[in-house]
Structure 1
């Protein structure tokens, strides 16, 4: 009978592997940065100096443009290395695109602020690269030399044979012997090997942070501006859709009743003298039309911003819209006592109102459930029905309008509606 021993993988093995891999990446990054930094510094400083010096004869414009384009290429190579060191992706800036005539296209790099930041990075990276290279080489030399010192101590000159040749122990005032010397240097190698990942990681991050600030910070600003611009466009589009819908609803509903009301009142006025009974009947019909127009206007106003939302808050407004739904609605609202921001409340109410309207018109559902609550820093609104499914966020339709409205407040709309159902609409928007 044989026995086998199962070796279970330890949790430290993947960690050690990650540390070793990151240390090698950081070391390679620091070692390569010195020759690249020397080349970039020489190229940019020389190019800028020659370009500025020859601007008077216009040759300098082409030299400066070429120098900035070369700095852009070096910056692109640096950005490609940053994710491995920083451990996260980095944004890439949008450079100015050449347009216009030849002179304008030639001046494009000179008009681009990011091109000058690339050139500045090429100049400032050299001293940091020298530091990173020196520290990395020193730590690797200490670690490898110390750990292997026992193997090559015999090849070194004997310090006792030459009074002017002293080892570290003698410099520190201790008696020196081969055993003590080997023990000291191996101990130093162990300490250097332990500190190697931390020290190399530190200098690599120092250099990478310089690249992140100069080469990607403007890209992050551009991305934020783009996000705000898209949110603004989404808000404009959502408001335009809402206004068109309101105009259509007013035209098809209250406006028709009011036109009919005006016609009935004019007819009643003509009937007063010759047929008072018919005039009273017409006035009665006009009163019915007036009440119907008033009810439709109230319904339209509730769709925009119901008074109960402003007076009693989101929970009461959602209960009211659920009560008016032709499809039975189960509602679960878990909100704190303090009121949310008005924009958040209005958006959440509009999402539920529009989603319930879509359920009633298109889904054929028998029951619908609405859940509203907090999820971390987000307000989460879920509307789910047991209808036929197949809902799509088609531009120009209700769900697309919901997505635009949410995007305007940094929210996100997710629709899961396979054919045959159920349909689950989830809206997440910032809590504050």
Structure 2
């Protein structure tokens, strides 16, 4: 079977009308953000600075603790408002950090905001945001006023005092050394208005982004760290769960298989020892049965060891280990391995080996396949393992199924397992894991 590469469709650029609507929409969002956030920034600055000052001054009589807690709760609410505005300005989703939950007795619940680092970051944002909000508001209002006033200057030039009637009344043209007439003024100020209108989206965008980036740094930075810690915790839990399941299954299989054969083997050897003098023929027959039991026990132990990294993997690398797995598979395997010269990380090699061995074992047991294809490729920073068979299909990646253990092992090393197995086949398992894990 040959894989066919599918080239991504080349998307054509959006038409000018669509781009213009996008620019105007973003200009409206940035303008609204700069204008609306200005009074909110004033209120936040006054509230937080006043609350922190009063709360700090009252700490000596313990009332300050409640004042500081209330101030931080208010800063948290104002930060939530800012976070709701950031996605529109930054044009991408913004993660929300997890706050420390209020637990315990009344005093401990009261001091929860004081022990939450994010609440202090919210208060810091309320203080540092104030000058950025002023700058954003002034720039936005100024550029909008000059652009609109210049473009519409011809409509209200008649209402201005005549410079010739008052020597002290001079306009910009006269200050620049030009003779000022009505026509020249209209042309000059209209040109200035058009120039400001052209640069208006970029200037307003820059002012809004300057303020929004401060909010992103202070209000969402811990959310990314918390998400990464949560992901690592999930990977650790998945690894522990996968190892626990594998250990229980190995213990059960050893107890039900090789252990029973070895007990029976010991009994047969004892019986043959007793029969050796009085009935040599019976002893030879018993020893033959014992040899069969020893062979069966050895085969079962080899089958159970497929989930354990073999010595060839540590000594000769992943390619040699996969070749050994493919050679002893009951289903014929077409193996293709493309790996770099340097060895991969041990966790990556062990996981890839386990994925291939388990997938081939499942195919031999459940799929009814006549052939399997294994492709292992190190493409850039990721290792891609593909196992495909021509069996009956129907494999699902769900809790309680065998593939769930593979998914847990991959998640422990930041990997992902994808299963495509329609009814009637074929079944295709794709595991992707970072090479540097």
TM-score, structure 1 as length reference: 0.91
Q: Is 1:195 aligned with 2:184?
A: no
Provide the C-alpha distance between the structure 2 equivalents of 1:48 and 1:318, rounded to a whole number of angstroms. 64
Q: Contact 1:132–1:203 (CA<8 Å) still a contact in 2?
A: yes
Q: Contact 2:306–2:357 (CA<8 Å) still a contact in 1?
A: no
Q: Is 1:210 aligned with 2:218?
A: no
Q: Contact 1:241–1:396 (CA<8 Å) still a contact in 2?
A: no
Q: 1:335 aligns with which of 334, 339, 348?
A: 339
CA displacement 1:24-82 (0-9 Å, x = unmatched)? 10111011111000111111122222222223333322222222211111111110111
Provide the C-alpha distance between the structure 2 equivalents of 1:341 and 1:18, rounded to a whole number of angstroms. 46
Please give the secondary structure, in 2, of the residue aligned with 1:332.
Answer: strand
Q: Which aligned pairs between 1:2-401 and structure 2 lie closer than 5 A?
A: 11-375=15-379, 377-401=381-405
Q: Contact 2:52–2:68 (CA<8 Å) still a contact in 1?
A: yes
Structure 1 residues 312, 63: CA separation in 2 closer, same or farther (over 3 Å shift)? same
Deviation larger for 91-100 or 385-394: 385-394
Q: Contact 2:48–2:75 (CA<8 Å) still a contact in 1?
A: yes
Deviation larger for 53-62 or 232-241: 53-62
Please give the secondary structure, in 2, of the residue aligned with 1:366.
Answer: coil
Residue ranges of structure 2 left out of the alignment (5+ in a row): 1-12
Provide the C-alpha distance between the structure 2 equivalents of 1:10 and 1:353, rounded to a whole number of angstroms. 48
How many residue pairs match? The answer is 424
Q: Is 1:409 aligned with 2:409?
A: no
Q: 1:426 aligns with which of 423, 427, 430?
A: 430
Residue ranges of structure 1 left out of the alignment (5+ in a row): 1-8
Q: Contact 1:34–1:130 (CA<8 Å) still a contact in 2?
A: yes
Provide the C-alpha distance between the structure 1 equivalents of 2:141 and 2:348, rounded to a whole number of angstroms. 56
CA displacement 1:81-112 (0-9 Å, x = unmatched)? 11111111111111122222222221222221
1:3 matched to which residue of 2? Answer: none
